[in-house]
């Protein structure tokens, strides 16, 4: 554990109560939590962790901290500890109370507004600690600084007592433990993978920062103490408990991030380009590498906040990249004049790039911080990257050659694809007036209430067409597995009958003619069988939407149906189970898997259906019949409607970008051209496979 003092001394970086500015009170947070954390669902719940973690990360960004620990505790509690300077505890001149209390109980109070507390931070609005405190039923801040240990506890944003000095300490840093309030968050369940993935990304962005994440939720020692964290330790790891954990430490920064993203790709550029420089008060850090692929991966950050919608820093990068490659290509006569020049689309093909900018005063577009609006970032990125990348090309002619050749190939393919697509469009093949014959459309013309079910094959399609609500539900059967679009250009895609039918049904067109406003259905429901083939088809469809219709995912229009696995009949009572656990619960504790035996069961007509159902129980009056559905085609229209299509009873999963990216990543591994990653994945996950014998 690193406890050495990394605080900068003697260089003007003093940090005390005078650095804490107060803008307004805390009362509105509990009334409208969505205004501060976006939602009170899973994303908002995890946002609480990010806010507390970001405070520690900002200490690391300033050079005052090099060790952070995040612990998931029993009782829905989270503990974050860092070896930074420690929140000041002296009296604040304006609030007349401890600066620690001010930070924890006053909205817009912190070292990120004026003063010299932080040069750069991700907390634009400074809502972090106070909002987490306001939305927690329990919160405790523990500060080690100036030789002392100070503690204050809170509930729903209100202090329980004044800040107390509870002992001496040779350490420095801050420990915050909080428990979200069930009045605000109805379903409190922290997801391990969500926490790990978010913090892993942050670890790449702060070179030399050690981060340890521990899952202590099942620790018996802590359950015996009702989930309370041990205040006698600075770092939880010092307890010596053997618990699931993962640590991150990257000296390479963005270079390490590029290696991570290209782990399952085939690089065509051996040396990863990297530049880090400050210009006009804007810190610019960029790493990139080209791979053998037709898509680009741009991962942008502003003050360590991921900006998935891009912004001025991405615009500056794209402009400089296109200009630099065009200039180099022309200077070295690597392209015929008749071919014209590269467009942004050409030079981005196969590119993986991480762009990180740091600004003292930062502006985002919208409340979600998804897009950077600071104009000074555009010029700084364009200048810093343009000069450095030009030098890289001049000093690495072999690398320059493969990058230019890759872009020339993309240019030629773009022109060929455009010609083919234009030919198709001229024929009117994608116009809404020529809907595919196998589409059973709905009667409603109101997209907001209309649904399109994508089903697997004619059998499921037949049941769905008979069982649907014809007014609002449309059915499109897909024959077999659609084309793998991972490495297919738009002309090849539109040559696929199944994909063309889907595009026509959507009504949005595709590529540069895509128009979300023309979307004919606001619910696209993927309804495939619960088997390996069904999972494969679902992944292919998700990849298609992610690659070519990402705006539809962003709009929240893509869903996955959840058909039942079992039909359970107990006398005249019929139930459906969507998992094996539900089946056991419905059947009863005494009837587990070992109790279920194959049997001939009579249907209402008195005829036996051998092999379709299983029965439990010895007495005729107590028999329980269980039918295992292999696919949607095995359900009659009434069953399909009741379990999977009826809005009043069905279960749908909304697809977000994270789901699509994960599906795409797995698809890259399983269906890509590289064998080693696929072999490794299968070996690592073989024990998780469910084999139906």
**Active-site residue set:** 456, 529, 531, 533
Backbone angles phi, psi at 472, to 5 degrees: -120, -10
Distance (Å, whole) CA 245 – CA 504: 48
User: What tokens were used for 338?
Assistant: 């008749």
Q: Which of 28, 215, 204 is nearest to 127 (CA)?
A: 28
Q: Token match 């196969």: residue?
A: 350
603 is in an annotated binding site: no
Helix (H/G/I), strand (E/B), else coil: 78:
strand
Other residues' Cβ atoms within 10 Å of the Cβ of residue 161: 9
Q: How far is CA 45 from CA 69, 183, 188, in A?
A: 19, 12, 7
Of the candidates 160, 161, 156, the one whose C-alpha atom is nearest the C-alpha of residue 180 is 156
List strand residue ranges (DSSP E) for 93-209, in order. Answer: 109-110, 136-145, 148-155, 158-159, 164-168, 173-180
- 457: part of which helix (H) or strand (E)? helix 457-467
Tokens 């039909």, residue located:
567
The number of angstroms, rounded, from the C-alpha of 549 to the middle of its chain's C-alpha atoms is 17
Other CB atoms within 10 Å distance of the CB of residue 137: 17
Backbone angles phi, psi at 153, to 5 degrees: -115, 155
CB atoms closer than 10 angstroms to residue 251: 9
CA dist 73 and 138 (Å) reads: 13
Residue 157 is given by DSSP the state T
Given a contact cutoff of 8 angstroms between Cβ atoms, the answer to whether 81 and 143 are in contact is no
Q: How far apart are CA 683 and CA 693, in angstroms?
A: 20
Range list of β-strands (E), 236-387 = 245-248, 273-279, 282-290, 297-302, 305-306, 351-358
Tokens encoding 598: 């194959």
> H or E segment at 420?
helix 397-426
Residue 507 CB-half CA count within 13 A: 17
Ligand-binding annotation for 529, yes or no, is yes
Cα(294)–Cα(321) distance, rounded to whole angstroms? 17
- Token pair, residue 348, equals 């981005």
User: CA-based diameter of the chain, in Å?
Assistant: 92
CB count within 10 Å of CB 38 equals 14
Give dist(CA 88, CA 59) in Å, integer. Answer: 13
User: Long-range contact list for 656-659, CB < 8 A, 24+ apart?
Assistant: 656/553, 656/556, 657/308, 657/546, 657/550, 657/553, 657/554, 659/542
Residue 472's nearest CA partner among 645, 268, 244, 235 is 645
Backbone angles phi, psi at 86, to 5 degrees: 90, 135
> In 98-124, which positions are buried (b, 16+ CB within 10 angstroms) versus exposed (e)?
bbbbbbbbbbbbbbbbebebbebbbbb
Residue 2: Cβ-neighbour burial (10 angstroms; 0-12, 13-18, 19+): exposed
Q: How far apart are CA 284 and CA 356, in angstroms?
A: 6
Helix (H, G, I), strand (E, B) or coil at 65: coil
**531 annotated to a ligand binding site:** yes
Where is the binding site for Mg(2+), in residues? Answer: 456, 529, 531
Where is the binding site, in residues? Answer: 456, 529, 531
């Amino acid at each position: 554990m690193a406890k050495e003092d990394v605080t900068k001394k003697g260089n003007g970086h003093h940090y005390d109560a005078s650095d804490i500015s107060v803008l307004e009170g805390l009362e509105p947070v509990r009334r409208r939590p969505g205004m501060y954390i976006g939602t009170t669902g899973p994303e908002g719940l995890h946002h609480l962790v990010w806010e507390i973690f970001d405070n520690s990360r900002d200490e690391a960004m300033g050079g005052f901290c090099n060790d952070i620990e995040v612990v998931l505790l029993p009782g829905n509690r989270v503990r974050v500890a860092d070896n930074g300077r420690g929140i000041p505890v002296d009296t604040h001149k304006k609030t007349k109370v401890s600066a620690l209390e001010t930070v924890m109980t006053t909205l817009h109070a912190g070292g990120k507004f004026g003063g010299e507390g932080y040069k750069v931070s991700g907390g634009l609005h400074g809502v972090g600690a106070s909002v987490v405190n306001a939305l927690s039923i329990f919160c405790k801040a523990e500060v080690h600084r100036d030789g002392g240990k100070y503690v204050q506890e809170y509930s729903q944003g209100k202090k329980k007592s004044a800040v107390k000095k509870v002992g001496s300490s040779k350490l420095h840093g801050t420990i915050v433990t909080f428990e979200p309030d069930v009045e605000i968050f109805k379903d409190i369940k922290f997801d391990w993978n969500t926490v790990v993935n978010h913090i892993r990304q942050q670890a790449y962005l702060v070179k030399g920062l050690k981060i340890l994440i521990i899952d202590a939720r099942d620790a018996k020692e802590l359950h015996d103490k009702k989930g309370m964290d041990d205040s006698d330790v600075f770092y939880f790891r010092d307890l010596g408990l053997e618990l699931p954990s993962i640590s991150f430490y990257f000296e390479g920064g963005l270079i390490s991030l590029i290696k991570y993203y290209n782990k399952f790709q085939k690089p065509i550029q051996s040396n990863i380009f990297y530049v880090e420089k400050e210009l006009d008060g804007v810190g610019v850090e960029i790493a990139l590498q080209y791979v053998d692929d037709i898509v680009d991966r741009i991962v942008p950050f502003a003050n360590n906040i991921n900006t998935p919608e891009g912004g001025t820093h991405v615009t500056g990068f794209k402009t400089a990249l296109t200009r630099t490659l065009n200039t180099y290509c022309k200077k070295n006569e690597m392209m015929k004049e008749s071919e014209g020049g590269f467009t942004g689309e050409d030079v981005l093909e196969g590119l993986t790039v991480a762009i990180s900018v740091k600004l003292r005063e930062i502006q985002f577009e919208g409340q979600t911080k998804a897009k950077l609006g600071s104009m000074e970032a555009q010029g700084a990125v364009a200048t810093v990257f343009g000069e450095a990348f030009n030098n890289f090309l001049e000093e690495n002619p072999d690398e320059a050659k493969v990058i230019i050749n890759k872009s020339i190939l993309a240019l030629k393919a773009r022109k060929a694809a455009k010609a083919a697509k234009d030919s198709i469009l001229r024929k009117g093949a994608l116009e809404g007036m020529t809907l595919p014959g196998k589409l059973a459309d709905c009667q409603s013309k109101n997209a907001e209430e209309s649904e399109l079910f994508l089903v697997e094959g004619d059998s499921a399609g037949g049941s769905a067409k008979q069982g649907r609500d014809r007014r609002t539900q449309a059915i499109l059967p897909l024959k077999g597995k659609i084309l793998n679009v991972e490495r297919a250009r738009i002309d090849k895609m539109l040559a696929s009958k199944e994909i063309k039918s889907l595009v026509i049904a959507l009504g949005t067109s595709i590529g540069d003619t895509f128009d979300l406003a023309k979307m004919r259905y606001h619910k696209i429901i993927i309804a495939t069988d619960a088997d390996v083939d069904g999972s494969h088809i679902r992944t292919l469809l998700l990849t298609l939407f992610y690659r070519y219709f990402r705006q539809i995912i962003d709009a929240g229009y893509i869903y996955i149906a959840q058909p039942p696995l079992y039909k359970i009949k107990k006398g005249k009572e019929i139930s459906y189970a969507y998992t094996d656990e539900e089946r056991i619960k419905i059947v009863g504790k005494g009837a587990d898997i070992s109790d279920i035996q194959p049997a001939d069961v009579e249907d209402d007509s008195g005829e036996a259906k051998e092999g379709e159902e299983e029965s439990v129980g010895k007495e005729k009056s107590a028999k329980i019949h269980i039918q295992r559905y292999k696919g949607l085609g095995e359900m009659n229209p009434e069953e399909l409607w009741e379990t999977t299509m009826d809005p009043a009873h069905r279960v749908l999963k909304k697809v977000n970008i994270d789901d699509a990216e994960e599906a795409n990543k797995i698809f890259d591994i399983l269906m890509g051209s590289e064998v080693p990653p696929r072999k490794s994945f299968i070996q690592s996950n073989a024990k998780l496979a469910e084999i139906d014998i």
